[in-house]
Amino acid sequence: MAEKFTPDQQCIVSTSLTGPESGAPCVVDTNDGRITRIRPYYYDTEYTDANCNPWKIEARGKVFKAPDHAMLTPFGLGYKSRVYSPNRVMYPLKRVDWDPNGERNPQNRGKSKYVRISWDEAAQIVADELKRIKATYGPEAVLCQADMHGEGKNVAPAHGCPNRLLSLMGGYTLQMRNPDSWEGWHWGAKYVWGCEPVGQMAPQANLYPDIAKHSDSLLFWGCDPETTPYGFGMCMPGRLCYWLSEIGLKSIYICPDLNYGAAVHGDKWIPILPNTDAALQLAIAYIWITEGTYDKEYIATHAYGFDKFEDYVLGREDGIPKTPEWASEKCGVKEWTIKALARDWAKKTVSIIHGNGGGLIRGPYSSEPARLEVMLLGMRGLGKPGVHQAKMLEWNLWNRDYPVPYQGQWVPKITQIADPLRPVDGDVDPKVNMDRYVLNDAQKKRAPELIKLFTQFPAPKQFIPRPLIHRAILEGHADWYGLQVFSSSQQPDQNNFRQPTQQYQFQHMKYPRDGLSRVHMIWTDAPCQITCWNDGNLTARAYQDPSIECIVAQHPWLENDCYYADIIFPVITKHEMNDIGNDMSSGGFTSIYLEEQCVPPVGESLSDFDVCAKVAEKLGPEYYDAYTDNMDEKTRVRFFYKATGCEEYMTWEEFRKKRIYVVPCKTQEELDKIPAGLYPFYSDPENHPLTTPTGKLEYYSTLLGEHTPDDPERPPVPHWVEKSESHDERLSSERAKKYPLLCVSNHGRWRMHSQCDDIVWNREVGTMKIRGKDGYQYEPVWLHTSEAEKRGICHGDIVKVFNERGIVLCGAYVTERLMPGVCYVDHGSRLDPIIPGWLDRGGAINTITPTSTTSKKATGMAVAGFLAQVEKVTDEEMAQWKRDYPEAFARHIDPDAGVCLDGWMIDNKEAI
Amino acid sequence: MAKAFVIDVAKCSGCYNCQLACKDEHAENDWTPYAKPQPLTGQFWCRVTDHVQGTIPKVRIHYIPRFCNHCRNAACMEAAKDGAVYRREDGLVIIDPEKAAGQKQIADACPYGAVYWNEALNLPQKCTGCAHLLDHGRKLPRCVEACPTDALMFGEEEELADYIEGAAVLLPETGSAPRVYYRNIPGQFIAGTVYDPVEKEVVIGARCLLNSGGKRWETRTDEYGDFWFNDLPVGLFDLSIQMPGYEVKLFERLRTRECVNLGDIPLSRK
């Protein structure tokens, strides 16, 4: 009896969902080969403060210090439900009416169901298809859709294994990720302040100690510190927010919704219409300029082209002064509140806080509010104590030093064996290259055993930016601007300096490149394009295009793009494999830990690495040998540890015993020496220039002036863009007569993009799902009480959110937490296609987001701040859909987990 | 010595970790003799409720995690036959999953709705304080351990005395004498924004006087023209807003059964 109260086994496993990093260490208890519980790891299990040297921030007589245990998020806690989800792919699947030797029925993708096949058959089919496609069209005819976010795994990463195998086969077409949470910073802010590689303020070093000491208030502008960080394995930002309030800082939230951070930390909520922040920002600049309350001395020494900015703000350029009255009409903030905000800000020491995502930075023309924000900070003396742009997540992001002083005395680097973020052959200067996935010289020296495994295969010869995949497939060609559409991950040098990359955004690129094939086959390990990217419905139609002869997906769960695949490989979760984890981002301590296999693989699933090895085996022994170097998982773990450099501090034997190495924090003396943020630029701009061409804050961008001076969507001085060739998504639009609401879509509170939508316990929370009267758990759409009343909608009603791009069914969440004129649906809800490419029951709001990129010359995506209408679904309408699409409605839905494997299987349990 | 929970509502960020950790521990895990498995979904031995107060843009939210109150005068114990509900030496109230079979009245008796009737197992069920973990070397119930903001505390009642002082219990009128204490459950508020409709400026520093049956509160509008009267009881209030150079603005008989947002209030120049 007593045995069951003691776990058979306790393993350390993280539940990061970001991909390259693992996040906070969790303890997973198992009994009888099954997960019993998931708990936080306590650092004092193996360590004392003398080992860890816990960090602290002291300010205004109070202390904020390192926690004694890892902070688990709702995702980490509920992960057992994910491992044993009824949505797991249990064995290899083939779409029932896809016959590689006969009819392929691409038009039925998203509709037809699946049959179970053997591993042998599945791997053989894919190997044969790869060979056939390559022989027929050339290797570039295979598009590899690998991406970043996913379980944080290292020796067999969630993303990039197919790239590695395809490189061996002579190449492929790379799907290049765009910075999906940073669009405006990447495509806009860089032109003002450089700040490589992301375009958000860099470095972020030592910011929070500085803010705690010097700032009066914080503007959380489109930021939710209680949501987005969860996906990065952090609950620390929430703790920090409480502390900053406790020591007297005021928190002002500017966002259309009273987001989860605003709800508990906000001293003031200023609701703003989605994607109208640029108007508010311009009006603030107008007040400061006309009242002379900005830091003129700083502007004189730190800024370039301020006069042209002034011309635009005051209306000398276009005859329209950007007054509070002008802005109020556009952004929905009262004129008197705009003035009050501008004046209060001018009197105080203020930092702006961001958490990625949200309405500010992911809408049409997001380059403009991003640039304007930097300019406002500049007018307040950016870089001086207490005046920063600080992040509430990714505290480790390509920084040498972190904003919260938890970084260790040194930072161990775990390499990854995958390759999803590679630039294309010959495109980019190697100096700014992405070296995240290579074995660096120090690692080679430490672990020569890995050199062969890490042989760099040739880079692909063409790519398609992710926001253009649908058009590229359907039209057979595409063109865009940017050699690189994702931030380079180049590591900073000793002075926190990185090579500038803005100039890589100007080359006019095309697909297919001369002499190379268009795409005829897709292999995805990130099957979430429809639910996470722009105009998902167009993507669905692209996947049904006859030019695509074969789609292969590998994933632990049958969801989203998987429904459009012809072959699906089952993949294990982290808990079913051996790995080595790294916590660089949870905000407690930096640590490296041994992640042992907790439970046997569910069904016939294999690691992503081994899935591709299976295919390699069918391609021939030379592929298998080169792909695997015949090194098994546990051996890779051993040598990866060797490569981290931790062995100089802890032997492998001791590491195996303790299973975690916590890197001691820097001493207070060391920390005090690190300048906060852009302080060096503030105090000495001549000797610490920015990476803009002038070295200064560019209110008139010299690069945009030189390359695209007449771009109406991203002119050299940032503008308010009402409508343009790319977008017509304002309330002033003719379209708004039919679609009168601006839809805002945040990163989900209860999901990380599309991950974790099936945690049954999260789905019981009222803001996660709403059970409709038909028993189906609908994704909530928030509506203000007045908008609901106008439409005769009650809380819990089944409603449709729609525009010309399609219809998404949701459950009405009627609330005072959202301003009128707006509807709000978190992105990433799993697809449940009723009419593929048109009607979704699962609540995947991105299916109806704008098709065009951020702007013509900014190749990001616009997935928030677009027009839609919300109406109640009548019983008659629902009945009609059920009559018209009986098969889609007949798919089994798990009452707790939603869409599931059973719903998509042809009943062929005896077939094998 | 008895165990107690203290919940600081002001520190609860509404992450629901406590509710989720309870599910992770008890859903489909059999901890007999402490408890049979909680159903996978639908029942909440720990349940977080969210409370949205006010109207846009004066909206505030607080969350209240609720579980068995491990009452000193536990109605469930009284309702139980055969000693099916008992109190441990450490004060935790436990439903014996063998003896309680079929005793639906145990679930019905709880004034807090904290005892659930598990139809499939024919059992009343509730929070055990994770007694099975406490008896096997762990110090905290799962909900408390999972709280990222230290809003939940658990320990010996005497040791938590400082936190318990001044704290509230739920439904004190039932006389159940809970051992779960709540700090900082906010009361009602009256708020608004004062502005000059001609200048289109907020009015900063306006004196706001609130009166209810002779009891008075006073505040001034801040940099945004905002005033907030927080933690008010439910009742009827009269408000006057005064600013030199402006007409006095009066609001009479404001009811605080719901929180009151008076919105943007124009003040007329004299």
C-alpha–C-alpha distance, residues B241 and A436, integer Å:
61
Q: Which residue of B has its CA nearest to A339?
A: B201
With 0.90 as the threshold, say if the pTM is over it.
yes
Give the range of the structural domain holding residue B86, as residue numbers without chain letter.
Answer: 3-183
Between chains, do B57 and A270 touch, taking CB under 8 Å as contact? yes
- Say if residue B138 is in the same domain as residue B208: no
Q: Given B152, B183, B214, which residue is the final one in a domain?
A: B183
- In chain A, residues with a C-beta closer than 8 Å to the C-beta of B130 are none
Q: What are phi and psi of B64, to 5 degrees?
A: -125, 110
Q: Are residues B100 and B161 in the same domain?
A: yes
CA A44/CA A348 separation, integer angstroms: 41
Chain A residues with CB inside 8 Å of B61's CB?
258, 263-264, 817
Residue A753: which residues within 8 A CB-CB, separation 6 or more? Answer: A149, A231, A528, A532, A747, A827, A828
What total number of domains does chain B contain?
Answer: 2
Contact B24 A37 (CB under 8 A): yes
pLDDT at A436: 64
Query: So what's the pLDDT on residue A27?
Result: 96
pLDDT tens-digit readout, A423-481? 787 777 766 665 667 788 899 999 999 999 998 888 899 999 999 999 999 999 999 99
B185 touches chain A (CB under 8 A): no
Nearest CA in chain B to A74: B17
Which chain A positions have a beta carbon within 8 Å of B133's beta carbon? 5
Residue A179: cis peptide before it, omega within 30 degrees of 0: no
Cβ–Cβ gap B223/A343 under 8 Å: yes
Task: Output the domain CATH number for residue B259.
Answer: 2.60.40.10
Q: What is the pLDDT of residue A502?
A: 81
Is B146 an interface residue toward A (CB < 8 Å)? yes
With beta carbons under 8 A apart, name residues in chain A contacting B27: 761
Peptide bond before B33: cis, by omega within 30 degrees of 0?
yes
- For testing the chain B interface, which of A39, A73, A331 should be mutated: the one with the most B CBs within 10 Å? A39
Q: Which of A766, A767, A784 sits opposite B56 (nearest CB)?
A: A784
Residue B56 touches partner A, C-beta closer than 8 Å: yes
Helix (H) or strand (E) holding A336: helix A335-347
Report CB contact under 8 Å: B30, A4.
Answer: yes
Q: Which of B148, B183, B218 is the last residue of a domain?
A: B183
| Residue B128 contacts A, CB cutoff 8 Å | no
Are residue B156 and residue B247 in the same domain, yes or no? no
Cis peptide before A465 (omega within 30 of 0): no
How close B125 gets to chain A, by Cα (Å)?
18
Q: Are residues B58 and B148 located together in one domain of the fold?
A: yes
Chain A residue numbers with beta carbons less than 8 Å from the beta carbon of B62 are 264
On whether any CB of chain A is under 8 Å from the CB of B247, the answer is: no
Whether B177 and B193 share a structural domain: no
Same domain, B81 and B173: yes
Whether residues B245 and B154 fall in one domain? no
Contacts of A673 (CB under 8 A, 6+ apart): none
CB–CB contact B41 A71 (8 Å): no
pLDDT for A912: 37
Domains annotated on chain A, with CATH:
93-180+429-575+605-648 (3.40.50.740), 183-401+688-707 (3.40.228.10), 734-904 (2.40.40.20)
Per-residue pLDDT of chain B in tens (270 residues, 90 and over written 9): 899 999 999 999 999 999 999 999 999 999 999 999 999 999 999 999 999 999 999 999 999 999 999 999 999 999 999 999 999 999 999 999 999 999 999 999 999 999 999 999 999 999 999 999 999 999 999 999 999 999 999 999 999 999 999 999 999 999 999 999 999 999 999 999 999 999 999 999 999 999 999 999 999 999 999 999 999 999 999 999 999 999 999 999 999 999 999 999 999 999
pLDDT value at residue A522: 98
How far apart, in whole angstroms, are the C-alpha atoms of residue A26 and residue A596? Answer: 12
The answer on B176 and B103 residing in a single domain is yes
Q: Report the residue from A238, A324, A820 with minimal CB separation from B148.
A: A238
What pLDDT score was predicted for residue A358?
76
* Three-state SS at A646: helix
Which of B138, B158, B183 represents a domain boundary (last residue)?
B183
Task: Locate all alpha helices (DSSP H) within A292-334, ordered by sequence.
Answer: 296-302, 306-314, 324-331
pLDDT in tens, A278-294: 999 999 999 999 999 99
Below-50 pLDDT ranges, chain A: 1, 909-912
Shared-domain flag, residues B36 and B96: yes
CA distance B12 to chain A (A): 8
Residues in chain A: 912
> Do B205 and B160 fall within a single domain?
no
Do both B162 and B147 map to the same domain?
Answer: yes
Q: Give the model's pLDDT for residue A440.
A: 86
Max alpha carbon distance in chain A (Å)? 82
Whether chain A has a CB inside 8 Å of the CB on B209: the answer is no
Counting one residue from A and one from B, how many pairs have CB atoms under 8 Å apart?
A: 149
Residue B30 touches chain A, beta carbons under 8 Å:
yes
Kindly state whether residues B167 and B38 are assigned to the same domain: yes
Which tens digit of pLDDT belongs to each residue from B137-153?
Answer: 999 999 999 999 999 99
Select from A151, A227, A307, A236 the least CA-distant residue to A745.
A227
Helices assigned H by DSSP within A487-544: 529-532, 536-543
**Tell me, what CATH number does B105's domain have?**
3.30.70.20
